[in-house]
Amino acid sequence: MIAQTERLIIRPFTQEDVPSLFLLNSIPEILTYIPTEAFTEMAQAQAVFDDVIQKEYRERGFGRWAVHHKLDDKVIGFCGPKYVPEFDKVELGYRYLPEYWGKGIGFEAAKATLDTFNPLHGIEEAIALIVHGNLASEAVAKKVGMSLFAEDEYFARKVHVYHTLL
């Protein structure tokens, strides 16, 4: 386990979470501000688990983490650090199933996760790359103490770069 809040357990993804990864990457509503195409096959989620998530855990010791909702006993999203070579920084990223939007889950998980960056991994600063127009994600970044640092491009999308020192 990485962190725990009243409602959430934040932990590394496991093989059993691949169907949750599929959901988080296949629902068009979730992907409105994500620069990727919706998954259409479970094999795509398996490839992300094997080739991205597990690789980051091995190489960096951290990566996106599963957000498990205690009461509903299921993975409802992800939150966690990811090294972004294009910026040479560690990004705090998060994504949740739509039925959990607007309930404070994003802030709760982001705060708990961000609080682990330095003590567990020696990460001294973090960014959040947020596609223009994603006001809900910007609100989470601001609420956890990040401030707008710059505007840039990432995967051919204009992004606001939020930043904080830890």
CATH class of 3-165: alpha beta
pLDDT of residue 23: 97
How much is the average pLDDT of 8-19?
98
Q: Say if residue 107's pLDDT is above 90.
A: yes
115, 11, 92, 69 alpha-carbon torsion, rounded to 10°: -90
First to last CA, the chain: 21
pLDDT band at 84 (very low <50, low <70, confident <90, very high): very high
pLDDT of residue 35: 84
Map out the domains of the chain as residue ranges: 3-165
Q: Say if residue 104's pLDDT is above 90.
A: yes
Across all residues in the chain, what is the average pLDDT?
A: 97
Q: Which residues pair with 161 in a beta bridge?
A: 129, 150
What's the pLDDT tens digit per position in 123-138?
999 999 999 999 999 9
CA atoms within 13 A of residue 64's CA, in its CB half-sphere: 19
pLDDT of residue 12: 98
List phi, psi (to 5°) of 125. Answer: -150, 155
pLDDT of residue 158: 96
This prediction has a pTM of: 0.96
List phi, psi (to 5°) of 51. Answer: -95, -15
